[in-house]
Structure 1
Amino acid sequence: MIIGLTGSIASGKSTVANFLKKRGYPIVDADEIARLVVEPGSPVLKEIESVFGADVIKEDGSMDRAKMGKLIFDDNRKREQLNTIIHPAIRKELIAQKEAQIAAGAETVILDIPLLFENNLHEYVEKILVVSVTPEVQKERLMSRNQFSEQEAESRIASQLPIEIKEQGADAVIDNNGELAETEQQVVDVLKKWQV
């Protein structure tokens, strides 16, 4: 079974992914893949440089994520340009890693994809597991984790699909507002129910 794991920023999706990893489930991490496809010298990074200019490349040849983030955050056209370059490469690598896990004998593979719904990747999975928190908890965690002001945190949260919409598209929702043990127990219950 291919399980899509998603959530919103600061919802605790990585915590759930780590728990699944400890239980022996192979994880294909879209964030890691997104970093991999823009490594120095990669064709994707060269294309980004030709579209956005040398300003977005650091001296060591890597992408300047902070500059790129500022460039695209409030500019939908530029964000769309970047996505058009990066997303096909991410999809290709995501599928390759999933297929490699299956070829290696994995019966269940977890695709950890933060923007599963936003990027229309739900067709690649059989079940969707959404990690959810209340907006208050999400904002508090994001401010604490990233040293964001309240306004910065709200702006980041608003840039993603609302969690309620993700919950509607889920096969199961993990409520991550409580203690870690409670979250882990919910994950165990879902895996039992799905018989994986």
Structure 2
Amino acid sequence: MIIWLTGGQGSGKSLVMKFLKEKGFSCIYADKIVHELYKSGNDGETLIVKNFGERFLNKQGNVCRMKLKKLALENVKNIERLNKLMHPLVYKKIIELIDKYLASGKENIVIEAVYFDEKKFGKIVNKVIWVERENRKKEFSIKNPSRVDDVLKNNGSIADLKKSVYYLVR
């Protein structure tokens, strides 16, 4: 089973990932992929410098995520531009990791990512789970993806969330 886990910032995706890992799922974290791509000499760093300039690098030559976040918060067009640049690189790496896990016999895989691309992953992913939490911090307006197979409401206790996660993957 391949699950795409998504939801807004502060919704509890990381906790759900922890529970799925406990159930034996191989985990892919889009944020970790982005952090790797932003390191000096990697494709993401090259694209950011080419499109936004060297002012977005830190002293070590890596992309400064705080500066990019500030840029993204300035207006929606900046977010769209960043996504257009970075998503193809992230999606390519996600596919490589899925292939690697499947080739090694690991069939239960979960991908944690804010955005779900139905065209790219619709036929690969068995289930899209949206994690939702009331009163969460909202920095970016994240819309539900076009496809949501299950919604995990994270408004109760950690034990309640764990029980819900285990129920979904029984």
TM-score after normalising by structure 1:
0.78
Structure 2: tracts of 5 or more residues without a match:
none
Q: Which residue matches 2:110?
A: 110
Q: Quote the Cα distance in structure 1 between the aligned partners of 2:97 and 2:36.
A: 12
Q: Which residue matches 2:43?
A: 43
3-state DSSP class of the match of 2:98? helix
Amino acid at match of 1:112: E
2:129–2:149 Cα contact (<8 Å) kept:
yes
Q: Per-residue CA shift, 1:5-40, capped at 9, x if unaligned? A: 111111101100011112221011111111111211
Structure 1: tracts of 5 or more residues without a match:
143-152
Q: Quote the Cα distance in structure 2 between the aligned partners of 1:183 and 1:47.
A: 39
Higher relative CO (Cα under 8 Å, sequence separation at least 6) belongs to 2
Q: Which residue matches 2:154?
A: 176
- Answer with 1 or 2: which has the greater Rg: 1
Q: Which residue matches 2:128?
A: 128
- What is the root-mean-square deviation of aligned Cα atoms in Å? 2.0
1:20 equivalenced with 2:2 (yes/no) = no
Q: Per-residue CA shift, 1:27-78, capped at 9, x if unaligned? A: 1111111111121111321221121111100111111111111122223333
Deviation at 1:121, TM superposition (A): 5.4
Amino acid at match of 1:174: L
Q: Quote the Cα distance in structure 1 between the aligned partners of 2:47 and 2:149.
A: 37
Within 5 A, what are the aligned runs for 1:136-147? 136=135, 138=136, 142=137
Q: Quote the Cα distance in structure 1 between the aligned partners of 2:82 and 2:148.
A: 28
Q: Which residue matches 1:160?
A: 142
3-state DSSP class of the match of 1:110? strand
Report the structure, 1 or 2, having the larger helix content.
Answer: 1
3-state DSSP class of the match of 2:169? helix
Report the number of matched residues.
169
Determine what percentage of the aligned residue pairs are the same residue.
Answer: 28
Amino acid at match of 1:189: Y
3-state DSSP class of the match of 1:128? strand
Q: Which residue matches 2:64?
A: 64
